Structure 1
Amino acid sequence: MRILLLDLDSLNPDHMSCYGYHRNTTPNIDRIAAEGVRFENYYTSDAPCAPSRAALMSGRFGIHNGIVGHGGTAADMRREGITRGFRDTLAQESLPAFLRLAGLKTVLFSPFAERHSQWTFYAGFSEIHNTGKCGMESAEEVTPHVLDWIEHHARNDNWFLYVNFWDPHTPYRAPESFGNPFRNDPLPAWITEEVLERHKRKVGPHSARDINMYNNQTNPLYPRHPGEILDMEGLRKMIDGYDCGIRFMDDNIGQLFAALEQQGVMDDLVVIVTADHGENQGQLGIYGEHGTADKGTCRIPMIIRWPGVTRPHVDTGLHYHLDLGPTLAEMLGQPACPSWDGQSYASVLTKGEDCGREYLVLSQCAHVCQRSVRFGDWLYIRTYHDGYHLFPDEMLYNLKEDPHEQHDVAADHLQVRKDAVYYLQQWHDEMMKTMPFDTDPLWTVMKEGGPFHAKGQLKAYCEWLEQSERGHAVETLKRKHPLEFV
């Protein structure tokens, strides 16, 4: 048994050609999608980077493992305390530890643990390669190390190889020498000039005028990454920069596939293509960030090719990324770990059956504090701290009619909101009943001053809003966040 997992940071399925994107961004990944199962409604339970990978690797929701943010108490995994044995739970029940106990050598290529000081991310790996730049490396700095490993080890049996690429993550960094294969391709049709004008008036980090989070500054090291979007040409720079990052990464993935073919192991290799989170490219009027609990941020790709098992198929059921562990356990004939929160979707792979969940609850506490409910055609977003976006407490989007989250219809659908709140409360009750802790870490974030990426920024941001002709929002921000001005 050989398994390759590609963790492609910040990859939005809407920008992948195998998911229907009009640009040819992922030809090598498309080959895998054509031979396996492509999941249409696959979501990270907890966003962004650190909470997502903590949930995937521990198999537990952030409310259980404790990691829901990027700083403060909620950026560290909860201690087991008095129940901890000689070895902790992660030593046997993290995803890689489980695979190692199942007989696979577990190998990692990623700088992620160092980037976020998430040292628990390493639990269960037999061999660890830190690619060295804390997530600022581009694919050409990762690929040679992985190719070397493939050359020397790929023919061995029983391994799990986890490879992390970063190119779709901000700032967009495809080398200048790569050029722009999309220069003559049309932009996404839904972002019209009228839509862009509306986005330019929006306030909040990574709005069209604030690509650098709280201002429009740029970095000469990253010429593909703009500071603001003022017109359709600026929009092109933004979208092309992101798409070039995806295509450059895909080209490097193609090199890995070619090397595996040369070693004679590609035909029977299980390939899993996924991401930690997506990337908003206009959803909620936000560009180049993954800072909300919405579809743009939380929906991720999942493609699984399992030779001899999967057939080309698109699954539309609702699944969490932390469902991967129980699925692999069933596929390997092993029991799922007791601490895991996920549920197996192995029948999707083996029989093409629909076994999706009734609803999903999505959390974001690093840039905003939000919990969302994804069910039916709907996305309900409940905001506890708006991260200076001026979001209302409740938002509702019909994703069938409005897949890019441009029209909040909360005022028109009271019963749908009530249904969503019921699901949210049902989930929360279940989470609190199934852990020994009495604190929801979302409220830990709130009590410690709010989401990490929104702390101490408001005064300077209000000055920038005045300069960028959006001073009308300053009084509202002061009213909503008075403690920032004490």
Structure 2
Amino acid sequence: MTEAPSKILYVDVDSLRPDHLGCYGYERTTTPVIDELARSGMRFTNYYATDAPCLPSRTALFSSRFGIHTGTINHGGLTADARPLGDHRNFRNLDGWTSWMGALRQEGYYTASLSPFVQRHQAWTVAAGFNEIQDAVGTDQRVGLWQPNADEILPYVDDWLDRHATRDSWFLHVNFWDPHTPYATPPEFGDPFADEPAPEWLTQEIIDEQRTHAGPHSARDTFHFSNRSPRFDEGNDLARVPIKFDIDSRDTFKTWVDGYDTGVRYMDYHLGLLLDRLKEEGVYDETLIILSADHGEGLGELNVYGDHHLADETTCNVPLIISGPGIESGVNDDFHYQIDLAPTVMELVGGESGSRWDGNSFASACTADGNDRDDGREYLVLSQGAWACQRGVRWDDWLLLRTYHDGLKTILEDVMLFDLETDPHETTNLANERPEIVEKGLSKLGQWHDERMLEAARDQRGGNPRTPNGTTDPMWADIANGGPYHTRGHLDSYVKHLRETGRKERAAALEHRHG
């Protein structure tokens, strides 16, 4: 193993999907800075959040534990906070359960986070192990304090680097939010994709079918349960999508995608300024740079626009680029979980991982002395609890979705199967045509579930029988408590809206299922 990096920069971009980055094959020039970073480092194509969206994802990432073990799979209610460790907890809570940041601190790194995330979600578990957390909030009340633009994040970064850039060892977490709705890139940045066509996969035929369906953030209800944004008043000049808007054509789809891609491009530009600052300080070459995301973003797939509702490819597949000292350049196509990053970084710095982590290191995939080893997983299981209660199984070219609560989305069926090689945007459910593949996927899901529950019962890895409900799958608790947080209590008002907008059949279907 090469000498450990003395400095680590983790760039955490909210709602960033890899297939809208140039280095992942996107035709639009959204990410020239990230593309250059990818050329110098290792790019991972099958890297997935175990638990989506934001709060479950970062809880899993920083604790290196599955949501089925931490209990955090939702944005509210009993499954939003991590379970206490019970009598496993000691004075400093370091008995194998240490966070990723805590493990780095034990190796001598000064750890800091510049992000509004902890306060935004009251995510105190994510704060564990940091020496310093700055609540890097925005200033424009029309967007919201919790969602700063990249230009509002950089002053926090500059101030931090003024004080710490040349110290011996540090880890810095920088959180950008620009690809997240409402796509509020400052107007003066212009419209870089105005003359470029939108992705071709979403046809008018698909749009017309989606408009017959119900669901939050769907083609006709793009802003939660209606087509009017609750964030802005008339005359705002920030949102790239009008405050009253739905997807009824390829042209309106282009408006939506242009807003997302402009946010990506704006973030990328400011990432370039951040990296330039490291070069000015003379520390760029000694910094391990990691770029990833908490989750992706639905841009029409399965009738979800501008949010992250499912346990599918568009929500859970996230970019991962690692570049810096000792890192080989190349592409890795093996399956890895986001929770595998913590033990990977600890191996790269020559440190010790938490003995109760669920993650497995794939450090050898990044380095010249070990890149012939296969550290990937045979298959992955992905979970969603905030907008639906759903698990996905990802293996070979297949994605199987098992839905337990549809989050008021009528397009979802109990079991769905997609061939991502030929259908990356999940347009054709093959479950009825390929029952033998469905059987394989459900078998893998059952195997994964049994293994996680056995770990909990046996007090192994991230499982913990000494905590309340520690041997209970939080997905069942989520459903018993009313289902996904963001759709609880909305059934009556939403079915009324559906009838008023000519979708009485969908209203009846939701009442039959959930009433």
TM-score (norm 2): 0.91
1:472 CA drift (Å): 2.2
Pairing partner for 1:341 from 344, 358, 363 = 358
After TM superposition, the structure 1 stretch with the greater mean CA deviation from structure 2, 276-285 or 465-474, is: 465-474
1:127-162 deviation digits (Å, cap 9, x = unpaired): 111112553211111111102222332122211010
Q: Does 1:127 align with 2:140?
A: no
1:58–1:90: 8 Å Cα contact kept in structure 2? Answer: no
Aligned to 2:305: 287
- In the alignment, which residue of structure 2 is the partner of 1:182? 193
The answer on whether the counterparts of 1:59 and 1:340 sit within 8 Å (CA) in structure 2 is yes
The residue that corresponds to 1:303 in the other structure is 321
Q: Does 1:116 align with 2:132?
A: no
- Taking the TM superposition and a 5 Å limit, the aligned residue runs for 1:209-228 are 209-218=220-229, 219-220=232-233, 221=236, 222-226=238-242, 227-228=245-246
**What is the identity, as a one-letter code, of the residue corresponding to 2:408?**
Y
Aligned AA (1:277): H
Segment of structure 1 superposing worse, 137-146 or 47-56 = 137-146
Q: Which amino acid aligns with 1:411?
A: N
Segment of structure 1 superposing worse, 195-204 or 275-284: 195-204
- Quote the Cα distance in structure 2 between the aligned partners of 1:382 and 1:278: 19
Residue number in structure 2 paired with 1:419: 440
Cα shift at 1:119: 1.1
Q: Which residue of 417, 436, 449 corresponds with 1:428?
A: 449
> Does the 8 A contact of 2:387 with 2:485 survive in 1?
yes
8 Å contact from structure 1 (residues 90, 97) kept in 2: no
Q: Show the counterpart of 2:182.
A: 171
Deviation at residue 460 of structure 1 after TM alignment:
1.6
The separation in 2 between residues aligned to 1:414 and 1:92, in whole angstroms, is 41
Distance 1:100 1:50 in 2: 23
1:255 matches 2:273: yes
* Structure 2 unaligned regions, length at least 5: 1-5, 139-144, 457-464
Is 1:362 the equivalent of 2:379?
no
Q: Is the 8 A contact 1:278 1:298 kept in 2?
A: yes
- Report how far residue 199 of structure 1 moved: 2.4
| Residue 315 (structure 1) aligns with | 332
What do the CA deviations read for 1:60-106 (whole angstroms, capped 9, x no partner)? 00010110001111011101112321122489610111111111110
Distance in structure 1 (CA, Å) of the matches to 2:497 and 2:261: 29
Identify the match of residue 425 of structure 2 among 393, 401, 404.
404
TM-score normalised per structure 1:
0.96
Contact map agreement 1:294 1:381 (CA 8 A) in 2: yes
**What amino acid does structure 1 have at the position aligned with 2:159?**
D
1:264 corresponding residue in structure 2: 282
Q: How does 1:318-329 map to 2 (within 5 A)?
A: 318-329=335-346
Query: 1:23 aligns to what?
Result: 28
Selected match of 1:240 from 258, 263, 270: 258
State how 1:132-143 maps to structure 2 within 5 Å. Answer: 132-133=137-138, 135-143=146-154
- Structure 1 vs Structure 2 CA RMSD: 1.4
Task: State whether structure 2 residue 347 is matched by structure 1 residue 330.
Answer: yes
Identify the match of residue 65 of structure 2 among 60, 63, 68: 60
Cα distance change, pair 135–301 in 1 and its aligned pair in 2 (3 A): farther
Who is 2:481 aligned against? 448
* 1:365 Cα deviation from its structure 2 partner: 0.6
8 Å CA contact retained: 1:12, 1:277: yes
Q: Is the 8 A contact 1:56 1:321 kept in 2?
A: yes
CA apart distance, 1:339: 1.1
Residue 296 of structure 1 aligns with an amino acid whose one-letter code is: T
Number of the residue aligned with 1:381: 401
Q: Which amino acid aligns with 2:381?
A: V
Query: Is this contact kept in 1: 2:97–2:357, CA < 8 A?
Result: no
- Secondary structure of the equivalent of 2:285? coil
What is the CA distance between 1:306 and its match in structure 2? 2.6
Question: For the residues of structure 2 that align with 1:90 and 1:306, how far apart are their CA atoms?
Answer: 31
The one-letter amino acid of 1:114's match is: Q
Please identify, of 50-59 and 78-87, the stretch whose mean Cα deviation from structure 2 is larger.
78-87
Task: Give the aligned partner of residue 371 of structure 2.
Answer: 352
Which residue is 2:211 aligned to? 200
- The Cα of 1:355 is off from its aligned counterpart by 2.3
Alignment of 1:93-112 (within 5 A): 93-112=98-117
Query: Which whole-Å CA distance do the structure 2 matches of 1:223 and 1:374 have between them?
Result: 35
Per-residue CA deviations over 1:181-225 (Å, capped at 9, x if unaligned) read 010111112122222222222321111111101100023444313
Secondary structure of residue in 2 paired with 1:34: helix
Q: Within 5 Å, give how 1:272-283 maps onto structure 2.
A: 272-283=290-301
- Report if aligned partners of 1:151, 1:263 keep a CA contact under 8 Å in 2: no
The answer to whether the 8 A contact 2:202-2:250 is kept is no
The aligned amino acid for 2:397 is D
8 Å Cα contact 1:298/1:362 also seen in 2: yes
Q: Distance in 2 between matches of 1:224 and 1:273?
A: 25
* Distance in 1 of aligned mates of 2:494 and 2:295: 26
Q: Distance in 1 between matches of 2:45 and 2:492?
A: 41
Determine the C-alpha separation between the residues in 1 that align with 2:30 and 2:396: 29
Q: In structure 2, what is the Cα distance between the partners aligned to 1:269 and 1:333? A: 15
Aligned partner letter, 2:18: P
Structure 1: how far apart are the matches of 2:210 and 2:300? Answer: 8
SS at match of 1:464: helix
Gap change, CA 1:273 and 1:50, over 3 Å in 2: same
Q: Distance in 2 between the 1:395 and 1:154 partners?
A: 49
Shift of 1:335: 3.0
| Mean CA deviation greater in 352-361 or 100-109 | 352-361
Cα drift, residue 467 of structure 1: 3.1
Q: Which amino acid aligns with 1:158?
A: S
